[in-house]
Structure 1
Amino acid sequence: MPMFRRVAFLLLAGLAMGCAVPAFAFDGSDGPPQGESPLALFKNPSQAFRQGMDGYRSGNFKTSVEAFEYAAANGNPLARWKLGRMYAVGDGVPQDDDKAYRYFSQIINNYDEDDGDRRDLSVVSNAFVAVGVYSLSGLPKTGVKPDPERALEMFQYAALNFGNADAQYNLARLYLDGADGVVGKDSRQAVRWLALAADKGHLQAQALLGHMLFNGFEGMPPQRARGLMWLTMARDAAVSSKDPKDAWIGDLYAKAAAAASDSDRQVASLYLDEHHKRN
């Protein structure tokens, strides 16, 4: 059993979550998805990855994919991550969630936390989150069924071992929405994870945390100034990013700002100044 599974189990048990360590294997293969064969045109996986990045930056996606496939088939996690992301969003290749899932799974299958020289931990951390997201909805073509329990375990591992803000946010959403037979709705747990992600600058977490604090939750009284502070930070970040998917953040801020008193706004401004000084 890989060491990271044992450690994850101990950490999760310590939190009394009662979740089993996930079976990470996809199909036992470390090669490219079925029907593809990487070309052995490179000296080593690292050199192939560098050539792949050169091709990617120049827009030569065919060459870059061949190089990434060679590096990925020979154990390079960065190449696996890059291919996973390309297939996940259709960046230079046809969008293919099945292939993306395959590459992300290879990363976590081969992760060894006893390896003292890990320069790819952010890639590993994000791969756990990606597999968790896919586990929520499943992949019908590949036979991967929706599995909220595995998603919970993926997010927990990335949140606890790597402090991954996306994992913390996804955990919060699971606790907000609940998942039958896996986790019940628990706003207090959700706020705990949102606060951790918000402190790392996760704007969606900041927005939800601010909304919950401003309005109160589960019998907890509102913290209007504190909530308005987080909503202001999230609104500012959303305006800067100009991502249409974050339009809801502006709506939450506008509703809170309209309901806030002058005192709420003044104290929120003080909180915001203190936060910026600390960070």
Structure 2
Amino acid sequence: MFKKLLFLIVVLASALYLWCWHYGNCVDASNHFERGMTEYNNKDFFQAAQWFRKAAEQEHATAQYQLGRLYEKGTGVVQDVIEAVMWYRKAAEAGNVEAQNALGLKYKTGQGVIQDLNQAVLWFQKAADQGHVEAQANLGEIYFSSQGIAKDLKQAEKWNRQAAEAGNAHAQYNLGLMYENGISVDQEIKQAIQWYQKAAELRYAPAQTRLGQMYHKGQGINQDFKQALEWYQKAAKQDESEAQFHLGMMFENGQGVNEDIAQAAKWFRQSAEQGYAKAQNRLGDMYFSGTGVQQNVTQAAQWYHKAAEQGNIEAQFQLGIMYQDGQGVKSDLKQAIKWYRKAADQNLADAQFQLGIIYYDGQGVAQDWKEAARWYGKAAEQGHAKAQNNLGLLYYDGDGVPQDFAKAAQWYRKAAEQGNVEAQSNLAVMYREGEGVSQDLTQAGYWFKKAAEQGDGYAEEALEELD
């Protein structure tokens, strides 16, 4: 029995010797790694990389991960994300949880590898199952935000909750979003606020911004401009562009702070320079009107352009006006139509109305009353009073639509009830003449009077004739 045990020990020792001989001295790998960490902590990153490489080539998983980090950041070595991924993969396959999480991130973003959310999930899962909190949060995020096969809201709730309870701010924020919007959990605004608060206290800027918005609007909590301002400021100081925009709005409107247009412009600019479209549009407004800044329509057009290219409908509409009128840019009806159409396609009634005018008059396009009627109709259905009146005119005259006095009267009425003076006068005429409605001089007088009170000269004369 003793001889057999001795033989087994000899065999194992020989195997260990051969393994270490093949891959390098076992003790050396650990020593090389420790030497690398010493150099790293001494900020000699070049030497750190050399020692990490020695250990990594001896299959030291943590050294492989650390070497990957250096390549990813370009610290002590020439930056090379593909090389970083190679070392992350080696370490991840050896079970290093940090490397598994890092490799998951690379697959999520497509840095150094072809983007593959399934591979991202696979590596996040491996690390998450070992209790890696950041990987749990990343797994929750990918299940929450991704489209297609990777989206799984139940899994999102599970992993975000697990990471949130472990103190991960990003997961706490995501869990707050889930409670606020009733995603995979019952909608509970108070729970949402609690999770936002936890993340905000950990200095997570998006949560600070969201908490500021809830105080600002009084959403699920007593409205408190001072608290809103405080949270916006915390996030804004971390260069959170959305918070900077909201902070600008509070200074502009004097909410929680004395009105200060110059401060508003300052915060709008900081947000706009980071690419936040709403701030770019608002800064464009300020340059256009000369509010808080020296008036400069060229600057206005430039900021509107930046916001418009990101799909901001107000900026698209304003840019259309500027190209149509030649303000801050060279007059260009084709460009005006392009931007009006972009805003109109997003259902901005003002832009739809402007397109109606352009097609009715044939400005920069072939005159097309049918197309004019289509755009007037879209704006009119959204309650745009001028479009309702103009659509009524088209039905009255039969331009672009079959002549229909009853429909003309219907659209005149909708606009008239919103105070549109032209529609009030037009509706009065129809009552006077009995066109599209039963003749009713009392109603005619009523609408002529409404129009006359707004200074309509024709209505004043018509009212005198009725009397």
TM-score range, shorter chain: 0.5 to 0.7
Q: Distance in 1 between matches of 2:407 and 2:368?
A: 21
Q: Distance in 1 between matches of 2:423 and 2:296?
A: 30
**1:146–1:224 CA distance, 2 compared to 1 (3 A):** same
Q: Mapping of 1:1-279 within 5 angstroms? A: 42-44=237-239, 45-58=241-254, 59-91=259-291, 93=293, 95-109=295-309, 111=310, 124-139=312-327, 142=328, 144-160=329-345, 162-179=346-363, 182-217=364-399, 221-237=402-418, 239=419, 247-261=421-435, 263-264=437-438
Q: Contact conserved, 1:224 with 1:260, CA < 8 A, in 2?
A: no
Q: Contact conserved, 1:214 with 1:256, CA < 8 A, in 2?
A: no
Q: Distance in 1 between matches of 2:332 and 2:358?
A: 12
Q: Distance in 1 between matches of 2:439 and 2:269?
A: 53
Q: Alpha-carbon deviations, 1:120-143, whole Å to 9, x = none?
A: x6xx1222111111111113xx4x
Q: Alpha-carbon deviations, 1:9-35, whole Å to 9, x = none?
A: xxxxxxxxxxxxxxxxxxxxxxxxxxx
CA positional deviation for 1:214: 2.1
Q: Contact conserved, 2:405 with 2:436, CA < 8 A, in 1?
A: no
Give the alignment's TM-score, normalised by structure 1.
Answer: 0.64
- Kindly provide the amino acid, as one letter, of the partner of residue 173 in structure 1: I
Q: Distance in 2 between matches of 1:153 and 1:205?
A: 20
Unaligned runs of 5+ in 2: 1-235, 441-467
Q: List, as ranges, runs of 4+ consecutive aligned residues in structure 1 with deviation greater than 6 Å.
A: none
Structure ranking higher in helix proportion: 2
Q: Alpha-carbon deviations, 1:79-108, whole Å to 9, x = none?
A: 112222333345555554333222111112
Q: Distance in 2 between matches of 1:137 and 1:100?
A: 14
Q: Distance in 2 between matches of 1:80 and 1:149?
A: 23
Q: Give the secondary-structure state (helix, strand or coil) at the position aligned to 2:303.
A: helix
Q: Distance in 2 between matches of 1:229 and 1:201?
A: 13
- Kindly provide the amino acid, as one letter, of the partner of residue 237 in structure 2: F
Q: How many residues align?
A: 201
Q: Root-mean-square deviation (CA), in Å?
A: 2.6
Residue 6 of structure 1 corresponds to none
Q: Contact conserved, 1:224 with 1:264, CA < 8 A, in 2?
A: no
**1:248–1:99 CA distance, 2 compared to 1 (3 A):** farther
Residue 14 of structure 1 corresponds to none
Q: Contact conserved, 2:320 with 2:340, CA < 8 A, in 1?
A: yes
Q: Alpha-carbon deviations, 1:174-224, whole Å to 9, x = none?
A: 111112xx3111111111111111111111111100122123226x55211
Quick check: which has more Rg, 1 or 2? 2
- Kindly provide the amino acid, as one letter, of the partner of residue 208 in structure 1: N
Q: Give the secondary-structure state (helix, strand or coil) at the position aligned to 1:217.
A: coil
Q: Contact conserved, 2:406 with 2:436, CA < 8 A, in 1?
A: no
- Kindly provide the amino acid, as one letter, of the partner of residue 403 in structure 2: P
Q: Whose RCO is larger (CA < 8 A, sep 6+)? A: 1
Give the alignment's TM-score, normalised by structure 2.
Answer: 0.40
Q: Give the secondary-structure state (helix, strand or coil) at the position aligned to 2:417.
A: helix
